[in-house]
């Protein structure tokens, strides 16, 4: 009786562990978010709400920061050209 009970408990633990691993959110790269800015914005909103707390938050934030930096550098270059 104890062996079957232990086997059931072990099976339950293994099954639960596999289910949790299978439910893990896919992690998208900074490059993905750079190419999908609207998705990065949506992901960052979910991060601020606390519904997402994984690597996607950091990657979306980095992609949006890169975009902002790129736009800033472009504006600075345009201003320098105008002044020359």
pLDDT digits 0-9 by tens, 32-46: 999 999 999 999 999
Q: How far is CA 1 from the centre of its chain?
A: 46
Which string of b and e fits 24-56 if b means at least 16 CB within 10 Å?
eeeebebebbbeeeeebeebbeebeeeebeeeb
Contact 19, 51 (CB under 8 A): no
In this predicted structure, what is the pLDDT of residue 8? 75
pLDDT, mean of residues 17-39: 81
pLDDT digits 0-9 by tens, 44-75: 999 999 999 999 999 999 999 999 999 999 99
């Amino acid at each position: 009786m104890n062996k079957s009970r232990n086997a059931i408990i072990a099976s339950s633990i293994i099954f639960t562990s596999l289910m949790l691993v299978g439910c893990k959110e896919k992690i998208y790269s900074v490059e993905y978010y750079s190419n999908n800015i609207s998705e990065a914005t949506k992901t960052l909103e979910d991060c601020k709400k606390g519904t997402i707390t994984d690597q996607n938050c950091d990657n979306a934030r980095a992609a949006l920061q890169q975009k902002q930096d790129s736009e800033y550098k472009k504006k600075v270059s345009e201003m320098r050209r105008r002044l020359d």
